[in-house]
Amino acid sequence: MSDSDVLKKAVQKAIDNGWLGFNVKNKEDKLKWYTGPSPVWFLDNAKYYDDIRQFASPNGTSFELNGLIFNHDFARALWGDTHFIGGTTAYPLVQFEEHLSQMVISDDPIKYLGDNI
């Protein structure tokens, strides 16, 4: 699977899980405070350019890869907030933060992303 395919699959999964965009917690916020490309922009208008690690659309709009894959709202929608581990004494593990930590230290963050969505 190409990097572009991995990224489109990740964006679609995040959208399916309720991702509304960057720094947007609910639909009311989206109307008032939204900044940045809409989630659908990554699927419909943007092409990913590996050599410059950016998404770009025909109208000249661009967005850096790291701004997407390391965004907490995007990661939370992609991997979920928390799950509990442990037997009789369960404790929460913040799932998206663990994945972000692993992706940061990975030699190939997009490969990590593809292996974990």
pLDDT grade for 84, boundaries at 50, 70 and 90? low
Name the pTM for this structure. 0.75
Domain around 13: 3-115
The first and second tokens of residue 94, run together, are 């913040």
**Residue 8: its pLDDT value, please?**
87
Alpha helices per DSSP H over 17-108 = 27-33, 39-44, 65-69, 72-79, 95-105
pLDDT digits (tens, 9 = 90+) for 8-44: 899 889 888 888 776 556 555 544 444 556 677 777 7
pLDDT digits (tens, 9 = 90+) for 44-79: 777 777 777 778 777 777 777 888 888 888 898 898
Q: Per residue in 6-35, is it b (16+ CB within 10 Å) or e — as a string?
A: bbbebbbebbeeebbbbebeeeeeeeeeee
Q: What is the CA radius of gyration of the chain?
A: 15
**Contact between 95 and 81 (Cβ < 8 Å):** yes
Overall domain count for the chain: 1
Q: Which of the two residues, 101 and 36, has the higher pLDDT score?
A: 101
